[in-house]
Amino acid sequence: MDAELWPDVACLPPRSQPRTAIARLLVQRALARLPLRLRWPDGTVTGDAGPTLTLRDPDAFHRRIGTDGLIGFGESYMAREWDADDLVRVLTVLCAELTTLVPPALQRLRGAWTRARPRDDRNTPTGARENIRRHYDLSNDLFALFLDETMTYSAGIFRGFPAHQDVLAAAQRRKIDRLLDLAAVGEGSRLLEIGTGWGELALRAAARGARVRTVTLSAEQRDLARARVAAAGLGDRVSVELRDYRDVDGAYDAVVSVEMIEAVGREFWPDYFATLNRLLAPGGRVALQAITMPDDRIDATAGTHTWISKYVFPGGVIPSVEAIDRQAAAAGLSAAPSTGFGDHYAETLRLWRERFTGAADDVAALGFDTTFRRMWHFYLAYSEAGFRARYLDVHQFLLTRRPPAAPETKGGEAP
């Protein structure tokens, strides 16, 4: 990819002495109390514990942070203005202190470093398709370089840690099977999958005897999923459609959606859960896998333009467990208690990151330049750090339709 595709990285933002000075002060204060070491261009090292962040261009680093906060921090890494001896460890330390890095007295100035999300990123039917295209339609070949043979792009479930590359595919199949079990998918089940991925869940459901309808907004995913279904000889049991979840009709015994709610957008959560309820046949079950974050952080992040929303997942918003419970209840669904398995996601991301790093030459051969490769490496490391710091988690939820309220009787007597 050409540098022109990343104008925010190719060009430094306009100089603002006050903002740069404040950013320098905040960075120095934060590093003074965090277990991090800072190496300066002249070789001087400050701090006496933890992983090392190496500053190659301190002025540009502070200038970007002063202009755009955490977006500038990520862009500075993309622009090679700083590096780390262990990027995940550095980002894990920062994620663990994410809500306390800025002193309370300066938090009221937060608006100077944050921007509202672009209106074009809203997940309207048109906007959602464009948001999905920008990430998932990059290249099937790119994703194949760091995903395993199942082409599954969500958290696996491992039997033990540390996990090794040769067990990643088994971990993904284990995750899928648990979701299918949760939704009670078996012989003759009418299954709807919202968010196809590259087809592995649909294939495993069809092998159980289910009839599967799976929908996606990614043309690249649809094409490869269809090819995989045909190669498996399951074309009579699986249909793969390019369709918005809001446009799906019918009634299904089971609905499964894996890490797709993060792409729905907070504004459209009511539509998403209402759709789940509308499509569920009597007695049906919904199995939902979702990345989650603390409930008290949603207000601070849902409307804020972040590095992830700018470069990786436009329109994406991570829900909380409480938000899923609230939205499900409002739509007439009940969510059963669930247990997080974020440590499994951290391991999944580590394996993806190692595979991506090891395939650097192959990624370059696909036409992705150094800036893109640093961006993608930062994304995988930042995500892994979020789970290792326990700022992020991941859950599998069982949703069922709530029974209608019992009719009231006169005098409090049973009918």
DSSP label at residue 14:
P
- 1 or 104, which is more confident: 104
Q: Residue 174: pLDDT above 70?
A: yes
As a whole number of angstroms, the distance between CA 106 and CA 114 comes to: 13
Tell me what the mean pLDDT of segment 281-310 comes to: 93
Average pLDDT, the chain: 91
Residues with Cβ within 8 Å of 157's Cβ and at least 6 positions away in sequence, in order, are: 171, 174, 175, 178, 341, 344
User: What pLDDT score does 1 carry?
Assistant: 43
Q: How far is CA 39 from CA 47, 51, 63, 71, in A?
A: 9, 10, 18, 22
Tell me whether strands 280-292 and 393-401 are parallel, antiparallel or unpaired.
antiparallel
Kindly state the helix (H) or strand (E) to which residue 373 belongs, with its residue range: helix 370-388
Tell me what the mean pLDDT of segment 337-356 comes to: 97
Q: Residue 145: pLDDT above 80?
A: yes
User: What pLDDT score does 13 carry?
Assistant: 80
Q: Residue 289: pLDDT above 70?
A: yes
Map out the domains of the chain with their CATH numbers: 3-113 (no CATH), 120-401 (3.40.50.150)
Measured distance between the N- and C-terminal CA atoms of the chain, rounded to whole angstroms: 71
Please answer whether residues 193 and 187 qualify as being in contact, where contact means their C-beta atoms are separated by less than 8 angstroms: no
Torsion angles phi and psi, residue 265, rounded to 5: 90, 135
As a whole number of angstroms, the distance between CA 309 and CA 74 comes to: 12
Q: What are the pLDDT digits (tens) for 209-241?
A: 999 999 999 999 999 999 999 999 999 999 999
One-letter identity of residue 218: S
Per mean pLDDT, which range of 58-72, 356-370, 377-391 is the poorest?
A: 58-72
Q: Give the residue among 102, 111, 78, 135 at the shortest CA–CA distance from 29.
A: 102
User: What pLDDT score does 31 carry?
Assistant: 78
DSSP string of 158-191, one letter each residue: -SSSS--GGGHHHHHHHHHHHHHHHTT--TT-EE
As a whole number of angstroms, the distance between CA 2 and CA 326 comes to: 44
User: What pLDDT score does 19 carry?
Assistant: 82
CA 104 distance to own-chain centroid: 29
User: What pLDDT score does 403 carry?
Assistant: 80
Q: How far is CA 104 from CA 26, 34, 101, 109, 110, in A?
A: 12, 17, 9, 10, 10
Q: Residue 414: pLDDT above 60?
A: no
Across the chain, which distance is largest between two alpha carbons, in Å?
A: 85
As a whole number of angstroms, the distance between CA 216 and CA 226 comes to: 12
pLDDT band at 3 (very low <50, low <70, confident <90, very high): very low
What's the pTM value of the predicted model, to 2 decimals?
Answer: 0.92
One-letter identity of residue 166: D
Q: What is the CA radius of gyration of the chain?
A: 23
User: What pLDDT score does 105 carry?
Assistant: 46
pLDDT band at 257 (very low <50, low <70, confident <90, very high): very high
